[in-house]
Amino acid sequence: MPVGTLAAVKALDPDDLTQMGATMILANAYHLHLRPGDEIVHAMGGLHSFMRWNRPILTDSGGFQVFSLARLRTINEDGVEFQSHIDGSKRFFTPESVMRIERNLGADVIMQFDHVIPGQSDEPSARDASERSIRWLERCLAEVKQLDAQDRATAAMHAPADHTATRQHSKPNRLIAPRQALFPIVQGGIHGNLRREAATSIASMRDWAGFGIGGLSVGEEKEAMYAMLDIASEALPAGRPRYLMGVGFPEDLVEGIRRGVDLFDCVAPTRMGRNGTVFTPEGRLNIKRTEFRTDPRPLDADCECSACARFTRAYIRHLFVSDEILGLRLLSLHNVHFLLSLARSARQAIKRGDFDSWSRDWLLRYRAATPIAV
Ligand SMILES: [Zn+2]
C-alpha cells in the first residue's frame, strides 16, 4: 500500500497510482482528524470521494502517531490524552472516539486503536501495552457494531416504502464504504511469548477479516522482527490477510512475504525518493552522487515506470541538484512502482510454486550490492 497519510501520496496523483497498479492505499486517522478534520472529510463524502480514489483504502488508527508524534501524553485505561503536534491543542482519544473518526473517514479497512510502546521495551511494559490493546480491541469492536446498527437504522428510515421505486436512492451516503472491516493489531514488542499470547487471544475472539502485526521495525534488530513474524504467523489463522504495519523496504517485503505477510505500508519509497534514494534490484543508490552526472542509463534498466521509460540518471540528478520539483516526483514514481512490481513478482512466484527459490535469488542479488548504497 502506497502511503497517503494526509489523503495524498506525496508528489503523486491518484491516476499515477492506478496506472502503476496500486490496488489499495493507506491514510492516517490521527493526521486527518487534526487536519482537515474527519467531520470535513465525512461532509465531503468520505475519503474515496474527497481524494478521488475509488479503490480500497485502509486507515491506521493513529495509535502509533499518538505515541510517537504527539506531546504530553497521559495514558489511562479509558484512553490517551495528548497535545496535537500541529497547534498544541489538547485532545483525548479513546477506542470509541477513534472508531467514530475512522467511520467518518470511511475507509474499507480500519485499524483498532492500540497502545504502542517503544521497540526495545522490557517485558512488563510490553505486556501491559499488549493486554491493554486487547481490552481496547473489545471496545473498538463494540463501537463498530453500534455504528453499524445506527447506519442500518438510518438506512431503513430513508429507504422508500415501495422498494421497486427508487432503488438507487435507498443507500444513504453511497460514497462511504457501507461496511468497514476492523483489523485487530497483534502487539507484544520483541517478546515471543507475548506475541504468541496476543495472536492466540485475538484470533479466539472472532473470525476477523484480517490481522495487523504492529510495533515492529521501530528500532529492533531485523532478526528480532523476523522471529516475531514467524511466531505471529504460526499463531494466526490461515486464509486471512496479515498486515505488517509500517514496514516496506524492498528486502522487508520479500522477507515478510516469506513469513506469510500479505499487506505492507511504508513511507520509505516516497520519503527516500525525496532525498534522492533510488530502489533498484541491485540495492539502493543515491542519485545526487557525482558519478551520475553524465550517466545516460535509466534509474533501473529493468523498470517499466514512466520515469525509467523516458529519463536518464544524468537528467534526474540534475533535477535534484537544482531543486526541481519534477525530480522528487520522478523518484517517487519510480520507487512506488518498484515496490508494487516487486509485490507482483512475488505473487507470480507464489502462483508458479517457486517463491522459495525466487526470493532467495532476489535477496542475494539485492544484498550483494547494497553496501554501495546511501
Ligand atoms: Zn523506474
Closest CA to 367 of 214, 158, 222: 222
- Choosing from 114, 252, 265, 300, the catalytic residue is 265
Look up the pTM and report it: 0.93
Question: Burial letters for 306-332: b for 16+ Cβ neighbours within 10 Å, e otherwise?
Answer: ebbeebbbebbbbbbeeeeeebbbbbb
Instruction: Kindly report the number of other CB atoms within 10 A of residue 128's CB atom.
Output: 14
User: What gap in Å lies between CA 165 and CA 64, rounded to an integer?
Assistant: 47
Q: Which of 102-106, 162-166, 326-330 has the lowest mean pLDDT?
A: 162-166
**Average pLDDT rounded to a whole number, residues 93-119:** 96
DSSP 111: E
Between the alpha carbon of residue 371 and those of residues 108, 118, 125, 181, 249, the distances in Å are: 40, 28, 36, 41, 15
User: What is the CA(338)–ligand 1 centre distance, in A?
Assistant: 7
In this predicted model, what pLDDT tens digit does every residue of 17-75 receive, in sequence order?
999 999 999 999 999 999 999 999 999 999 999 999 999 999 999 888 888 887 778 99
The one catalytic residue among 38, 60, 108, 300: 60
Residue 69, pLDDT score: 81
pLDDT at 312 > cutoff 50: yes
Question: What band does 219 get if pLDDT is binned at 50, 70 and 90?
Answer: confident
CA of 127 to the centre of ligand 1 (A): 43
CA of 60 to the centre of ligand 1 (A): 28
pLDDT score for 310: 98
Interatomic CA distance for residues 3 and 273, integer angstroms: 13
Share of the chain above pLDDT 70, in %: 94
Q: How far apart are the CA of 305 and the centre of ligand 1, in A?
A: 4
Instruction: Determine the average pLDDT of the residues in 219-230.
Output: 92
Active site residue 265: yes
Rounded CA-CA distance 284/188 in Å is 31
Q: What is the pLDDT of residue 162?
A: 55
Q: For 273-304, what is each residue's pLDDT tens digit?
A: 888 999 999 999 999 999 999 999 999 999 99
pLDDT digit string (tens) for 237-257? Answer: 999 999 999 998 999 999 999
Distance CA 245, CA 111 (A): 10
pLDDT for res 254: 97
Q: Does the pLDDT value for residue 166 go beyond 80? A: no
| Three-state DSSP state, 97 | helix
pLDDT of residue 67: 83
